[in-house]
Structure 1
């Protein structure tokens, strides 16, 4: 079968409604029919991509922008310091170790850096990714989790920190396992995959300590995500997140020795105390230097607050509020620092994608100082820089024009410094940010962030002047309560340098304006997120940022669903759409990938009201029912190893567009066989980004740089004109 050719029509009846599914056969990823069909799509994509003038220049520019050495914040364990480092031009980060003081400027002070685990050396083909890692408290071992082929299901290995050699057989079948070392030779880890009867938190003893069978310490439900942490070397914390609905339950247990002397019992059968369970809340705990629990929570605060509790009596009825909720900014992260006598909380908030950092007294919550960040960007991974009152805090910082760097905030300081000391941020490209507003169909005001470059150095001769409409990408996500944060993106920066504009619609369903903003765009409210995106597109055209033909909608995963749904509802809303690894068939999303985990976000086809909402925007079914007349050009991306959204979604969506669309408007599928939804080698990431944005450039009229100007009359013949 090729193009949009259909097998004998498959029709399901749901709640008395016939639901056509002519491309059900494309759910079989390795069938001969699917392979033949994919081969046709790959030829179509290659032929189209060869005509895009900006494909090579964008790839070159993106590679140049990402060619920098990147570190993660260092962790001291015993006499060693651990971090990950991706060398300039490298494909993957590697786990490294060195000796010295974690906050003194790092390895550039003369310490010899030794590689403990390098994914590229482990798999020179580049298909293995480093998913997580955690060193033991004495610094002698490192637990490293990897996966291959994009499946995000892999193995947990225990390596010697001195030699990098494996010390025992790997634990197979784990997925992004949290690891909490309970001592130098034992750790807790999680199993998240369904179907094997082993879902939950397990205790593992390393072979050097005698090994033995792993012990289940807490089982978890079939549609929850377990997590485990050890705070202060004493307090074991287990969480159970309910799908991706921003709700979790938390328990804590004291692993300190008692008079019984039964060490095995306290490690294998912890005595759990409930922090909270059954609440519509999401909470994250940290341990302060004063021995108290500090809890970032949505309980009683949709934009989050921080409370304190005694870990021996951690129930929410005994919490004391320390840092209150800000009505306009959401608490993203925090860490407890200072001394037992004078503990402090360093708190990161996000206000429409931009981070703010403040220090507060942990005793009364009062503001102690504001921290001066390098620019308008994103702060992540707040972590103590070591033990003791002079350790300070590590963090990561990035903004739209600045590659991620590690910073150190010394005690009492108002401005962080780089780590390692020798690191130098790339001179930023001047980028202008401004906020626009639009009104959605129900009158709700929806903010839009717009980025432009001042005097873009790579722009072609046809680049628009300020105030003139020009090629614009409008990005949206709108799912799972995730706020958009504006960190570094080489792809966005390359697009801006080429003369394009980049906008982000902060639609409902995301977390940009708090928990209620998410809930109003979730489940039966998901059509509101589609309305918000359509309104944002209308606003950009109405305010002269772009014309319809200049506009490309872009989103990935849940955002891919959103942009496809907007184009299916209003085919003339834009000139092009990029949907990366999208959801598309909302009648069957629960049967594909991680769909069963997402019922709280999208609803279930088993419920009549949820089903009606799903079918009102399901892109696959809207195209099948309404056709795709006057639709925009569409680029779908799919990844064969995708265990989250499942590549059946873009395959089926592409087939529907090809059968029901207009031949003069391309519907392309860029398909990769050896990657998945998550991280990948740098080269593969560059190729994907360059292809997607070269498509956007061709369809919106963004010109190549002066040295590679297209001939007169060049560019895409499909670009729309008018308003």
Structure 2
């Protein structure tokens, strides 16, 4: 295929022989899926490490995990999942310390297809809004439950998808704001719901097409409304003072609208507006302003942008006369937690963490307590509170210590990509693991930075003697907005070529042989790994593509693709279309001569409303048609699940299948398992 497809082609003129596989439930599609399932089930018993990996992953996830708590009306609310549980349960902890289950998604659904997607208690702790969905669709219902009984107090609100909920103070009566993102169930925007009433009030319709609305209420007074414009690191932001306008008609003052800026806002205990923003800071900084004059021209910098790290989460804690800004920065997957105290002799200090890993969900409750989550490659997600001496303390109090940690070696390298740009690469292994079977992972989309948290799947792979590498390719967010845009839109092929260069680098360096390398990616990362082998069939031995994008001409018609034109481009624009057709894995495979492709395992989920299950189906058909040689092209397809969370047992089975496939194709055998090594070490290199 020529590197620059002819521009005279239009989407309608592009050959698409497997369009019929977009019809999810047609008899022809179902027969085809049954044949693919038979192929997969036939191959599964031939993968020697499958049962061992499943047992190890199952053991590693059998720990108790909490979410950071929320304090409302003297009660603490949090989710808890114990070893053996399929899903987290929402629990409430009373002042006495007594804990009780408020909502369990498995009650009434023994198949485990119901997920708890979001929850938010009312300020007085008497009610809680709970969002659930079924079958992996992520399109669900919003239920209002009595905290005293756990029972619904009214019929559910249908047609919501990860709806933000912002409760009004009890003095307004039981009421909250929520968002609708899907116009099929009412106008997109921010709505006011009064508990017990049938009719909701639209208080802010979305101002632009295909934006994602958001809503928050801070200090029981300040309403923050946002609209995110696709994936381009841009949003519009409004602020309303409910002390000066009624909740049904809040007077929303623009903070920034129509600007090329992305901001997240909160109100501190000092009554000032704090913003984490890209305004004059691609890697983000924190600014402060008077809510009465919230425009960017009036902002004052509190925490400056760092030259080499992305500012992630933040929270504002303390008292009106002594504010603490708690924030995180991430450098190539490793987080740093810091506290900035304006006017203090200890103005900006680093919080000691248990290791080198990921910090997430930094929150500050109304009492001034700060909570955050920590995890690393060998440490499951753990909730901490910030002690009075600035030292993290595990929460809840009976979580006295972290579990024993497996020693992991992390090496930070870099390599030159096709155009001379240096791209970072991280490699994990147990100490003493020799060169050999390696999984190379990449995501490279939507400006998401890679964070190295806990993965039972990766840890099991490492414990069996494999290596795990991550290429921080362009299109991700490791170096902020600039790095993202360098691999987005018409430049998306740069992310693909960065991944190809990473694979070549690993082989040239002697980290593994070509026949010991497996590429792995999910969703937008699945697009990258498939595009890489469509470009270079000789690149590796195997590929794992989890719920991938693959047909980049039809992507706007599948799943949420219509929302992603800022990330990938528009098929109606001639230059965007040419770029999409050039790297689209499905079309490149169909338009080039048959080749000896690597072994490929695609996964698809029938309830996937994000990427859409037609992508892996069509890609599997194209690869099976065009591959030559003995390596298998397999599709692992599931019903009753989607792109997001699932029951733990199903997640374990999926992970074990995928990595047993990688082991079989790269030569990772049961005899390779390394012995326990020395303590965790970090090496830097190039």
- Length-normalised TM-score, structure 2: 0.94
The separation in 1 between residues aligned to 2:350 and 2:11, in whole angstroms, is 59
Of 485, 510, 528 in structure 2, the residue corresponding to residue 519 of structure 1 is 485
User: Which of 254, 279, 302 pairs up with 2:282?
Assistant: 302
Cα deviation per residue 1:104-152 (whole Å; 9 max; x = unaligned)?
xxxxxx6211111000114121000000000000000010000000100
Q: Quick check: 1:280 aligned with 2:267?
A: no
Q: Of residues 311, 314, 327 in structure 2, which corresponds to 1:331?
A: 311
CA distance in 2, matches of 1:682, 1:507: 30
Aligned counterpart, 2:175: 186
Q: Which residue of 2 aligns with 1:168?
A: 154
Aligned-residue Cα RMSD (Å) equals: 1.6
Structure 1 residue aligned with 2:407 = 430
- Aligned counterparts of 1:131 and 1:585: Cα–Cα separation in 2: 29
CA shift for structure 1 position 18:
3.9
- Offset of residue 302 of structure 1: 0.5
Inter-CA distance 16–93: structure 2 relative to 1 (3 Å threshold): closer
Cα distance in 1 between the residues matched to 2:41 and 2:593 = 26
Report what 1:82 is aligned to: 77
CA distance 1:650–1:16, change in 2 (3 Å)? closer
2:677 is matched with which residue?
none
Q: Which moved more, 1:620-629 or 1:605-614?
A: 620-629
Structure 1 SS opposite 2:670? coil
Question: Does the aligned pair in 2 maintain the 1:329–1:513 contact within 8 Å?
Answer: yes
How far residue 416 of structure 1 moved from its aligned partner, in angstroms, is 0.4
CA contact (8 A) 1:54 1:704 kept: yes
Please give the secondary structure, in 1, of the residue aligned with 2:619. Answer: helix
Work out the CA distance in 2 between the residues paired with 1:111 and 1:20.
64
Task: Tell me which residue corresponds to 1:6.
Answer: none
Moved over 6 A (4+): none
| Partners of 1:322 and 1:365 within 8 A in 2 | no
Whether the aligned pair in 2 keeps the contact of 1:627 and 1:661 (CA below 8 Å) is: no
Partner of 2:120: 134
| Residues 386-465 of structure 1: pairs in structure 2 closer than 5 A | 386-387=366-367, 391-411=368-388, 413-423=389-399, 424-454=401-431, 465=433
CA contact (8 A) 1:331 1:349 kept: yes
Q: What is the aligned partner in structure 2 of residue 353 from structure 1?
A: 333
Give, in angstroms, the shift of residue 14 of structure 1.
Answer: 3.5
Scaled by the length of structure 1, what TM-score is found?
A: 0.90
Number of the residue aligned with 1:42: 37
Q: d(CA) in 1 for partners of 2:658 and 2:586?
A: 21
SS in 2 for 1:564: helix
Q: Is the 8 A contact 2:159 2:185 kept in 1?
A: no
Q: Which residue of 1 aligns with 2:613?
A: 647
Q: Which residue of the other structure, out of 614, 618, 635, is the alignment partner of 1:669?
A: 635
- Can you list the C-alpha shifts for 1:181-203, whole angstroms capped at 9, x where unaligned? 01330000001013344211100
Q: Which residue pairs with 1:712 in the alignment?
A: none
> Secondary structure at the residue paired with 1:567?
helix
1:299 is displaced (CA, Å) by 1.1
1:370 partnered with 2:350: yes
State which drifts further: 323-332 or 216-225. 216-225
Kept in 2, the 8 Å contact 1:13–1:19? The answer is no
Q: 1:269 to 1:16 in 2, by over 3 A?
A: closer
The one-character-per-residue Cα deviations of 1:421-476 (angstroms, maximum 9, x if unpaired) are 22132110000001111111100000000000125xxxxxxxxx53xx30000000
Classify 1:617/1:164 alpha carbon distance in 2 versus 1 (closer, same or farther; 3 Å). same
On the 8 A contact 1:348/1:355 being kept in 2, the answer is yes
SS, match of residue 536 in structure 1: helix
Is the 2:270–2:319 Cα contact (8 Å) retained in structure 1? Answer: yes
**Partner of 2:50 in structure 1?**
55
Distance 1:204 1:16, change over 3 A: closer
1:719 is aligned to none
Contact residue 465 and residue 672 of structure 2 kept, 8 A = no
Q: Give the CA deviation at 1:222.
A: 3.2
Partner of 1:688: 654
1:580 aligns to what?
546
For residues 192 and 353 of structure 1, the distance between their equivalents in structure 2, rounded to whole angstroms, comes to 30
Shift of 1:283: 0.4
Whole-angstrom CA distance in 1 between matches of 2:635 and 2:291: 52
Structure 1 counterpart of 2:195, from 196, 206, 209 = 206
Q: Where do residues 4-83 of structure 1 align in structure 2 (5 Å cutoff)?
A: 14-15=9-10, 18-83=13-78
Displacement of 1:369 in angstroms is: 1.8
- Secondary structure of the corresponding residue to residue 121 of structure 1: coil
Instruction: Give the Cα separation in 2 of the matches to 1:127 and 1:414.
Output: 41
Cα 1:622–1:79 change in 2 (3 A) is same
SS of structure 2 residue aligned to 1:68: coil
Distance 1:549 1:346, change over 3 A: same
Aligned partners of 1:58 and 1:494 also within 8 Å: yes
Which residue does the alignment assign to 2:587?
621
8 Å CA contact 1:343–1:363 kept in 2: the answer is no
Partner residue of 1:481? 447
The CA distance in 2 between the partners of 1:555 and 1:147, in whole Å, is: 25
**Alpha-carbon distance, 1:163 to partner:** 0.9
TM-aligned CA distance change 1:415 to 1:79, over 3 Å: closer
Describe the shift of the 1:627–1:129 C-alpha distance in structure 2 as closer, same or farther (beyond 3 A): farther
Distance 1:513 1:362, change over 3 A: same
Q: Does 1:507 align with 2:493?
A: no
For 1:382, the equivalent position in structure 2 comes to 362
Distance 1:244 1:48 in 2: 38
Answer yes or no: is the 8 Å Cα contact 2:11–2:553 preserved in 1: no
1-structure distance, mates of 2:618, 2:634? 12
Find the residue that maps to 1:379 and give its secondary structure.
strand
Deviations 1:502-522 (A, max 9, x none): 000000000011210000100
Counterpart residue number, 2:3: none
Aligned equivalents of 2:407, 2:512: Cα separation in 1: 21
